[in-house]
Structure 1
Amino acid sequence: MNGTTRRLRPAALSAGVVAALLALTACSGGGDGGDETVPGSPSPTVSSAPSPSASAGATDTPTGTTDDDGSTSAPPFPANTEPDTSDPSAGAALTVTDIRVGRHDGFDRVVFELGGTGTPGWRVEYVPEAIDDASGNPYDVAGDGTLQVMISGSGYPTDTGVATYSGPNPLRVAETDEVEEVALRGVFEGYTQAFIGTDDADNPFRVYALTDPTRVVVEVRDDA
Protein backbone atom coordinates (compact mmCIF):
# COMPACT_ATOMS: atom_id res chain seq x y z
CA MET A 1 0.00 0.00 0.00
CA ASN A 2 2.88 2.37 0.68
CA GLY A 3 4.21 1.86 -2.85
CA THR A 4 0.80 2.61 -4.32
CA THR A 5 0.54 5.81 -2.34
CA ARG A 6 3.92 6.99 -3.61
CA ARG A 7 2.92 6.35 -7.22
CA LEU A 8 -0.43 8.26 -6.99
CA ARG A 9 0.84 11.41 -5.13
CA PRO A 10 2.75 12.90 -8.06
CA ALA A 11 -0.31 12.45 -10.30
CA ALA A 12 -2.59 14.18 -7.78
CA LEU A 13 -0.22 17.14 -7.43
CA SER A 14 0.03 17.53 -11.19
CA ALA A 15 -3.73 17.64 -11.46
CA GLY A 16 -3.84 20.39 -8.80
CA VAL A 17 -1.27 22.47 -10.65
CA VAL A 18 -3.16 22.03 -13.91
CA ALA A 19 -6.40 23.09 -12.24
CA ALA A 20 -4.74 26.19 -10.83
CA LEU A 21 -3.28 27.08 -14.22
CA LEU A 22 -6.67 26.63 -15.85
CA ALA A 23 -8.26 28.92 -13.27
CA LEU A 24 -5.64 31.60 -13.82
CA THR A 25 -6.07 31.32 -17.58
CA ALA A 26 -9.82 31.75 -17.27
CA CYS A 27 -9.44 34.88 -15.11
CA SER A 28 -7.06 36.46 -17.61
CA GLY A 29 -9.39 35.94 -20.55
CA GLY A 30 -7.80 32.72 -21.69
CA GLY A 31 -4.96 34.53 -23.45
CA ASP A 32 -7.23 35.30 -26.39
CA GLY A 33 -6.91 39.08 -26.21
CA GLY A 34 -10.31 39.62 -24.45
CA ASP A 35 -11.04 42.52 -22.07
CA GLU A 36 -12.83 40.59 -19.39
CA THR A 37 -12.42 41.80 -15.81
CA VAL A 38 -13.01 40.09 -12.51
CA PRO A 39 -16.52 40.91 -11.24
CA GLY A 40 -16.40 43.61 -8.55
CA SER A 41 -12.93 44.87 -9.53
CA PRO A 42 -12.47 48.51 -10.63
CA SER A 43 -12.46 49.20 -14.34
CA PRO A 44 -9.03 49.97 -15.78
CA THR A 45 -8.17 53.65 -16.13
CA VAL A 46 -6.73 54.81 -19.41
CA SER A 47 -4.56 57.93 -19.45
CA SER A 48 -3.32 59.53 -22.61
CA ALA A 49 -0.37 61.81 -23.11
CA PRO A 50 -1.10 65.39 -24.23
CA SER A 51 -1.47 65.70 -27.94
CA PRO A 52 1.64 67.28 -29.47
CA SER A 53 -0.55 69.40 -31.72
CA ALA A 54 -2.39 70.84 -28.70
CA SER A 55 0.73 72.28 -27.10
CA ALA A 56 2.95 72.88 -30.10
CA GLY A 57 3.44 76.53 -30.85
CA ALA A 58 1.60 77.69 -27.69
CA THR A 59 3.00 80.92 -26.29
CA ASP A 60 2.41 82.86 -23.09
CA THR A 61 1.31 86.48 -23.23
CA PRO A 62 4.14 88.63 -21.84
CA THR A 63 3.47 89.75 -18.29
CA GLY A 64 1.91 93.17 -18.10
CA THR A 65 0.65 93.46 -21.66
CA THR A 66 -2.92 93.74 -22.83
CA ASP A 67 -4.72 94.60 -26.05
CA ASP A 68 -8.36 94.55 -25.05
CA ASP A 69 -8.83 97.16 -22.32
CA GLY A 70 -9.48 100.29 -24.32
CA SER A 71 -12.61 102.05 -25.42
CA THR A 72 -13.52 103.36 -28.85
CA SER A 73 -15.42 106.15 -27.08
CA ALA A 74 -12.42 107.35 -25.08
CA PRO A 75 -12.11 111.13 -24.79
CA PRO A 76 -9.70 112.84 -27.21
CA PHE A 77 -6.14 113.37 -26.08
CA PRO A 78 -5.72 116.89 -24.69
CA ALA A 79 -3.18 119.25 -26.21
CA ASN A 80 -1.74 119.95 -22.77
CA THR A 81 -0.60 118.11 -19.65
CA GLU A 82 -3.04 119.60 -17.13
CA PRO A 83 -4.27 117.40 -14.22
CA ASP A 84 -7.21 115.12 -14.99
CA THR A 85 -9.77 114.66 -12.20
CA SER A 86 -13.03 112.84 -11.53
CA ASP A 87 -15.06 112.20 -8.36
CA PRO A 88 -15.93 108.73 -7.02
CA SER A 89 -19.46 107.60 -6.32
CA ALA A 90 -20.77 107.96 -2.79
CA GLY A 91 -19.65 105.11 -0.55
CA ALA A 92 -17.21 103.66 -3.09
CA ALA A 93 -14.86 101.06 -1.59
CA LEU A 94 -12.46 99.66 -4.17
CA THR A 95 -9.16 97.79 -4.27
CA VAL A 96 -6.72 97.55 -7.18
CA THR A 97 -6.62 93.88 -8.18
CA ASP A 98 -4.57 94.01 -11.39
CA ILE A 99 -2.32 96.31 -13.42
CA ARG A 100 -1.74 95.91 -17.14
CA VAL A 101 0.41 97.86 -19.57
CA GLY A 102 0.29 97.74 -23.35
CA ARG A 103 1.56 99.45 -26.48
CA HIS A 104 -0.98 100.81 -28.98
CA ASP A 105 -0.89 102.90 -32.12
CA GLY A 106 0.17 106.37 -30.99
CA PHE A 107 0.09 105.81 -27.24
CA ASP A 108 0.83 103.51 -24.31
CA ARG A 109 -1.97 102.30 -22.06
CA VAL A 110 -1.97 101.56 -18.33
CA VAL A 111 -5.00 99.81 -16.84
CA PHE A 112 -5.82 99.64 -13.14
CA GLU A 113 -8.49 97.01 -12.57
CA LEU A 114 -10.47 97.29 -9.35
CA GLY A 115 -12.76 95.12 -7.29
CA GLY A 116 -15.29 96.13 -4.65
CA THR A 117 -18.26 98.45 -4.74
CA GLY A 118 -18.95 101.81 -6.33
CA THR A 119 -17.30 103.87 -9.05
CA PRO A 120 -13.74 105.17 -8.68
CA GLY A 121 -12.59 108.73 -9.03
CA TRP A 122 -9.07 109.96 -9.73
CA ARG A 123 -6.56 112.75 -9.90
CA VAL A 124 -3.76 112.14 -12.40
CA GLU A 125 -1.02 114.70 -12.94
CA TYR A 126 2.67 115.16 -13.62
CA VAL A 127 4.65 115.77 -10.44
CA PRO A 128 8.26 117.00 -10.11
CA GLU A 129 9.08 114.15 -7.74
CA ALA A 130 7.42 110.92 -6.61
CA ILE A 131 6.61 111.19 -2.90
CA ASP A 132 4.87 108.42 -0.97
CA ASP A 133 1.68 109.73 0.59
CA ALA A 134 1.86 107.65 3.75
CA SER A 135 5.54 108.12 4.63
CA GLY A 136 6.44 111.36 2.89
CA ASN A 137 9.57 109.69 1.52
CA PRO A 138 10.72 110.08 -2.10
CA TYR A 139 10.38 107.12 -4.42
CA ASP A 140 12.68 106.57 -7.38
CA VAL A 141 10.66 106.15 -10.59
CA ALA A 142 12.26 105.23 -13.93
CA GLY A 143 11.85 107.78 -16.73
CA ASP A 144 12.17 111.52 -17.27
CA GLY A 145 8.55 112.21 -16.31
CA THR A 146 6.39 111.07 -13.39
CA LEU A 147 2.63 110.78 -13.58
CA GLN A 148 1.07 110.47 -10.15
CA VAL A 149 -2.17 108.46 -10.15
CA MET A 150 -4.47 108.92 -7.16
CA ILE A 151 -7.55 106.66 -7.36
CA SER A 152 -10.21 107.91 -4.96
CA GLY A 153 -12.97 105.78 -3.49
CA SER A 154 -10.33 103.24 -2.44
CA GLY A 155 -10.33 101.02 0.63
CA TYR A 156 -8.06 98.54 2.34
CA PRO A 157 -8.61 94.88 1.45
CA THR A 158 -9.92 94.32 4.99
CA ASP A 159 -12.66 96.84 4.25
CA THR A 160 -13.47 95.93 0.63
CA GLY A 161 -13.11 92.16 1.00
CA VAL A 162 -11.00 92.13 -2.17
CA ALA A 163 -7.39 90.95 -2.35
CA THR A 164 -4.97 93.59 -3.61
CA TYR A 165 -2.73 93.29 -6.67
CA SER A 166 0.21 90.97 -5.97
CA GLY A 167 2.01 90.92 -9.31
CA PRO A 168 5.31 92.50 -10.34
CA ASN A 169 5.79 95.86 -8.65
CA PRO A 170 7.09 98.03 -10.20
CA LEU A 171 5.76 96.68 -13.48
CA ARG A 172 7.89 97.15 -16.59
CA VAL A 173 7.09 96.24 -20.19
CA ALA A 174 9.81 96.33 -22.82
CA GLU A 175 7.47 96.87 -25.80
CA THR A 176 6.18 100.28 -24.69
CA ASP A 177 7.50 103.62 -25.99
CA GLU A 178 6.31 106.21 -23.47
CA VAL A 179 5.66 104.25 -20.25
CA GLU A 180 8.85 103.13 -18.52
CA GLU A 181 7.28 101.52 -15.45
CA VAL A 182 4.25 101.50 -13.18
CA ALA A 183 4.66 101.42 -9.40
CA LEU A 184 1.73 100.73 -7.08
CA ARG A 185 2.46 102.33 -3.70
CA GLY A 186 -0.59 101.58 -1.55
CA VAL A 187 -3.76 102.96 0.03
CA PHE A 188 -3.85 105.99 2.29
CA GLU A 189 -6.87 107.99 3.46
CA GLY A 190 -9.20 106.70 0.77
CA TYR A 191 -6.75 106.97 -2.15
CA THR A 192 -4.71 104.35 -3.97
CA GLN A 193 -1.42 105.92 -5.02
CA ALA A 194 0.58 104.82 -8.04
CA PHE A 195 3.29 106.35 -10.21
CA ILE A 196 3.76 106.00 -13.96
CA GLY A 197 7.29 106.71 -15.12
CA THR A 198 7.20 108.21 -18.61
CA ASP A 199 9.80 108.76 -21.29
CA ASP A 200 9.17 112.53 -21.23
CA ALA A 201 7.61 114.97 -18.80
CA ASP A 202 5.40 116.67 -21.37
CA ASN A 203 3.48 113.88 -23.07
CA PRO A 204 -0.28 114.58 -23.17
CA PHE A 205 -2.36 111.95 -21.40
CA ARG A 206 -6.00 111.06 -20.89
CA VAL A 207 -7.88 109.20 -18.17
CA TYR A 208 -11.25 107.47 -18.28
CA ALA A 209 -13.17 104.70 -16.50
CA LEU A 210 -14.59 101.45 -17.81
CA THR A 211 -16.96 98.95 -16.24
CA ASP A 212 -17.44 95.19 -16.14
CA PRO A 213 -14.85 94.91 -14.72
CA THR A 214 -14.24 98.29 -13.12
CA ARG A 215 -11.11 99.93 -14.52
CA VAL A 216 -9.29 103.24 -14.52
CA VAL A 217 -7.40 103.68 -17.80
CA VAL A 218 -4.46 106.06 -18.22
CA GLU A 219 -3.09 106.54 -21.72
CA VAL A 220 0.10 108.47 -22.52
CA ARG A 221 0.38 109.84 -26.05
CA ASP A 222 3.53 109.70 -28.14
CA ASP A 223 5.58 112.84 -28.65
CA ALA A 224 4.07 115.13 -31.26
Structure 2
Amino acid sequence: MLRTGTTRTAIVCATLALIGTALGTAAVPAAATTRTAVSAATACPTGWGSLPETGTPATATPVRDIRTGRHDCYDRMVVDVPGAGDVGYSVRYVDRLHQDGSGRPVPVAGGAVLEIRVTAPAYDPETGRATYPARAGHALPGVDLTGYRTFRDARFAGSFEGDTQVGLGVRARLPFRVLQLQDRVVIDVAHNWTGAR
Protein backbone atom coordinates (compact mmCIF):
# COMPACT_ATOMS: atom_id res chain seq x y z
CA MET A 1 0.00 0.00 0.00
CA LEU A 2 1.27 3.46 -0.94
CA ARG A 3 1.31 6.38 1.41
CA THR A 4 -1.10 9.27 0.71
CA GLY A 5 1.61 11.70 -0.42
CA THR A 6 3.04 9.16 -2.83
CA THR A 7 -0.41 8.37 -4.19
CA ARG A 8 -1.13 12.04 -4.87
CA THR A 9 2.19 12.47 -6.60
CA ALA A 10 1.58 9.41 -8.74
CA ILE A 11 -1.91 10.62 -9.71
CA VAL A 12 -0.65 14.12 -10.57
CA CYS A 13 2.19 12.67 -12.67
CA ALA A 14 -0.16 10.29 -14.49
CA THR A 15 -2.67 13.11 -15.14
CA LEU A 16 0.06 15.41 -16.50
CA ALA A 17 1.36 12.61 -18.72
CA LEU A 18 -2.13 12.02 -20.13
CA ILE A 19 -2.72 15.75 -20.73
CA GLY A 20 0.67 16.06 -22.41
CA THR A 21 -0.07 13.07 -24.65
CA ALA A 22 -3.49 14.45 -25.55
CA LEU A 23 -2.10 17.88 -26.34
CA GLY A 24 0.74 16.45 -28.37
CA THR A 25 -1.63 14.25 -30.40
CA ALA A 26 -4.15 17.05 -30.89
CA ALA A 27 -1.47 19.48 -32.06
CA VAL A 28 -0.57 17.46 -35.14
CA PRO A 29 -4.02 17.45 -36.78
CA ALA A 30 -4.56 21.12 -35.83
CA ALA A 31 -1.32 22.13 -37.53
CA ALA A 32 -2.18 20.07 -40.62
CA THR A 33 -5.68 21.57 -40.73
CA THR A 34 -4.31 25.11 -40.38
CA ARG A 35 -1.78 24.51 -43.16
CA THR A 36 -4.52 23.14 -45.45
CA ALA A 37 -6.81 26.10 -44.71
CA VAL A 38 -4.02 28.58 -45.46
CA SER A 39 -3.18 26.78 -48.72
CA ALA A 40 -6.83 26.80 -49.77
CA ALA A 41 -7.15 30.49 -48.95
CA THR A 42 -4.08 31.43 -51.00
CA ALA A 43 -4.82 29.24 -54.04
CA CYS A 44 -6.30 31.07 -57.03
CA PRO A 45 -9.24 29.76 -59.07
CA THR A 46 -8.31 27.54 -61.99
CA GLY A 47 -10.28 26.10 -64.86
CA TRP A 48 -10.82 29.40 -66.69
CA GLY A 49 -9.97 29.48 -70.39
CA SER A 50 -9.30 31.90 -73.23
CA LEU A 51 -12.08 30.91 -75.64
CA PRO A 52 -14.96 33.32 -76.43
CA GLU A 53 -17.81 33.63 -73.92
CA THR A 54 -21.30 34.93 -74.64
CA GLY A 55 -24.57 35.63 -72.85
CA THR A 56 -27.70 36.37 -74.87
CA PRO A 57 -30.14 38.81 -73.19
CA ALA A 58 -30.33 42.27 -74.76
CA THR A 59 -31.53 45.45 -73.13
CA ALA A 60 -32.39 49.01 -74.10
CA THR A 61 -31.29 50.15 -70.63
CA PRO A 62 -28.07 52.14 -71.07
CA VAL A 63 -24.57 51.62 -69.68
CA ARG A 64 -23.89 54.05 -66.83
CA ASP A 65 -20.36 53.17 -65.74
CA ILE A 66 -17.34 50.98 -66.44
CA ARG A 67 -14.94 50.42 -63.57
CA THR A 68 -11.99 48.20 -62.69
CA GLY A 69 -10.48 46.66 -59.58
CA ARG A 70 -7.47 44.66 -58.47
CA HIS A 71 -7.72 41.31 -56.66
CA ASP A 72 -5.14 38.81 -55.39
CA CYS A 73 -5.67 36.38 -58.29
CA TYR A 74 -7.08 38.52 -61.11
CA ASP A 75 -7.90 41.99 -62.38
CA ARG A 76 -11.59 42.83 -62.79
CA MET A 77 -13.69 45.03 -65.09
CA VAL A 78 -17.34 45.74 -64.32
CA VAL A 79 -19.84 47.22 -66.79
CA ASP A 80 -22.77 48.70 -64.87
CA VAL A 81 -26.22 48.77 -66.48
CA PRO A 82 -28.57 49.73 -63.61
CA GLY A 83 -32.14 48.49 -63.99
CA ALA A 84 -31.36 46.10 -66.85
CA GLY A 85 -31.54 42.77 -65.03
CA ASP A 86 -29.51 40.24 -67.05
CA VAL A 87 -27.24 41.95 -69.56
CA GLY A 88 -26.02 40.20 -72.73
CA TYR A 89 -22.34 40.14 -73.62
CA SER A 90 -19.65 38.78 -75.89
CA VAL A 91 -16.02 38.62 -74.72
CA ARG A 92 -13.21 37.28 -76.90
CA TYR A 93 -9.56 37.74 -77.76
CA VAL A 94 -8.97 39.56 -81.06
CA ASP A 95 -5.84 40.25 -83.05
CA ARG A 96 -6.93 43.85 -83.45
CA LEU A 97 -9.92 45.84 -82.23
CA HIS A 98 -12.12 47.35 -84.95
CA GLN A 99 -14.85 49.86 -84.23
CA ASP A 100 -18.39 48.74 -85.06
CA GLY A 101 -19.99 50.62 -87.91
CA SER A 102 -16.88 52.37 -89.28
CA GLY A 103 -14.50 49.41 -89.10
CA ARG A 104 -11.71 51.76 -88.00
CA PRO A 105 -8.97 50.13 -85.91
CA VAL A 106 -8.80 51.20 -82.27
CA PRO A 107 -5.25 50.90 -80.88
CA VAL A 108 -5.14 49.07 -77.54
CA ALA A 109 -1.85 48.58 -75.66
CA GLY A 110 -0.87 45.21 -74.22
CA GLY A 111 0.31 41.76 -75.24
CA ALA A 112 -3.27 40.69 -76.07
CA VAL A 113 -6.62 42.41 -76.57
CA LEU A 114 -10.01 41.33 -75.25
CA GLU A 115 -12.97 42.71 -77.18
CA ILE A 116 -15.87 43.25 -74.79
CA ARG A 117 -19.34 43.82 -76.20
CA VAL A 118 -22.29 44.50 -73.95
CA THR A 119 -25.79 44.41 -75.44
CA ALA A 120 -26.70 47.77 -73.96
CA PRO A 121 -26.16 51.21 -75.50
CA ALA A 122 -23.97 53.89 -73.92
CA TYR A 123 -26.67 56.43 -74.77
CA ASP A 124 -30.34 57.02 -74.04
CA PRO A 125 -32.23 55.32 -76.92
CA GLU A 126 -35.00 57.94 -76.80
CA THR A 127 -32.85 61.08 -76.83
CA GLY A 128 -29.51 59.85 -78.17
CA ARG A 129 -27.72 61.58 -75.29
CA ALA A 130 -24.66 59.82 -73.85
CA THR A 131 -25.19 58.01 -70.54
CA TYR A 132 -21.52 57.04 -70.24
CA PRO A 133 -19.10 59.93 -70.90
CA ALA A 134 -16.53 58.15 -73.07
CA ARG A 135 -15.06 59.07 -76.44
CA ALA A 136 -14.36 56.51 -79.16
CA GLY A 137 -10.69 55.57 -79.33
CA HIS A 138 -9.89 57.10 -75.94
CA ALA A 139 -9.12 55.60 -72.54
CA LEU A 140 -12.12 54.84 -70.34
CA PRO A 141 -12.92 57.86 -68.15
CA GLY A 142 -12.00 57.46 -64.49
CA VAL A 143 -10.11 54.19 -65.06
CA ASP A 144 -6.48 54.24 -63.85
CA LEU A 145 -4.67 50.94 -64.44
CA THR A 146 -1.47 51.91 -62.62
CA GLY A 147 -0.26 48.98 -60.50
CA TYR A 148 -2.48 46.35 -62.15
CA ARG A 149 -0.77 42.98 -62.73
CA THR A 150 -2.80 41.96 -65.80
CA PHE A 151 -4.61 44.99 -67.26
CA ARG A 152 -2.56 47.33 -69.45
CA ASP A 153 -5.10 49.51 -71.32
CA ALA A 154 -8.86 50.06 -71.53
CA ARG A 155 -10.29 51.85 -74.58
CA PHE A 156 -13.82 52.82 -75.51
CA ALA A 157 -14.49 51.69 -79.09
CA GLY A 158 -18.03 53.10 -79.27
CA SER A 159 -21.71 52.31 -78.97
CA PHE A 160 -23.46 51.27 -82.17
CA GLU A 161 -26.95 49.88 -82.77
CA GLY A 162 -27.53 49.16 -79.09
CA ASP A 163 -24.17 47.50 -78.36
CA THR A 164 -21.30 49.05 -76.40
CA GLN A 165 -17.79 47.96 -77.38
CA VAL A 166 -14.64 48.18 -75.24
CA GLY A 167 -11.06 47.06 -75.87
CA LEU A 168 -9.22 45.68 -72.85
CA GLY A 169 -5.46 45.36 -73.25
CA VAL A 170 -3.92 42.66 -71.05
CA ARG A 171 -0.34 41.56 -70.40
CA ALA A 172 -0.71 38.34 -72.43
CA ARG A 173 -3.42 35.95 -73.61
CA LEU A 174 -4.48 34.88 -70.13
CA PRO A 175 -7.50 32.91 -68.89
CA PHE A 176 -10.66 34.86 -68.13
CA ARG A 177 -14.21 34.37 -66.94
CA VAL A 178 -17.38 36.41 -67.40
CA LEU A 179 -20.08 36.70 -64.75
CA GLN A 180 -23.56 37.84 -65.72
CA LEU A 181 -24.91 39.44 -62.56
CA GLN A 182 -27.97 41.56 -61.85
CA ASP A 183 -27.52 44.89 -63.70
CA ARG A 184 -23.87 44.26 -64.59
CA VAL A 185 -21.36 42.19 -66.50
CA VAL A 186 -18.11 41.27 -64.73
CA ILE A 187 -14.93 40.28 -66.59
CA ASP A 188 -12.08 38.75 -64.55
CA VAL A 189 -8.67 38.13 -66.16
CA ALA A 190 -6.30 35.88 -64.20
CA HIS A 191 -2.75 36.92 -63.41
CA ASN A 192 -1.39 33.64 -64.83
CA TRP A 193 -2.37 30.19 -66.12
CA THR A 194 -1.15 28.21 -63.11
CA GLY A 195 -3.38 29.54 -60.34
CA ALA A 196 -0.36 30.75 -58.36
CA ARG A 197 -0.61 34.10 -56.60
Q: Given the two structures, how large is their TM-score scaled by the length of structure 2?
A: 0.65
Could you tell me the percent identity over the aligned residues? Answer: 36
- Aligned counterpart, 1:152: 119
- Aligned counterpart, 1:183: 155
Separation in 2, partners of 1:123, 1:209? 11
2:155 maps to a residue whose letter is A
CA contact (8 A) 2:63 2:122 kept: no
- Aligned counterpart, 2:177: 206
- Aligned counterpart, 1:35: none
Deviation at 1:95, TM superposition (A): 1.6
Aligned pairs for 1:32-71 (under 5 A) are none
Question: Do residues 115 (structure 1) and 82 (structure 2) align?
Answer: yes
- Give structure 2 stretches of 5+ with no counterpart: 1-44
- Aligned counterpart, 1:165: 132
Give runs of ≥4 in structure 1 deviating > 6 Å.
Answer: none
- Give structure 1 stretches of 5+ with no counterpart: 1-75
Q: CA RMSD in A?
A: 2.3
Count of residues in Structure 1 that have an aligned counterpart in Structure 2: 144
Q: Which has the larger radius of gyration?
A: 1
CA contact (8 A) 1:84 1:123 kept: yes
- Aligned counterpart, 1:219: 188
- Aligned counterpart, 1:97: 64
CA contact (8 A) 1:124 1:149 kept: yes
Question: Do residues 139 (structure 1) and 109 (structure 2) align?
Answer: no
Larger RCO: Structure 1 or Structure 2 (Cα < 8 Å, ≥ 6 residues apart)? 2
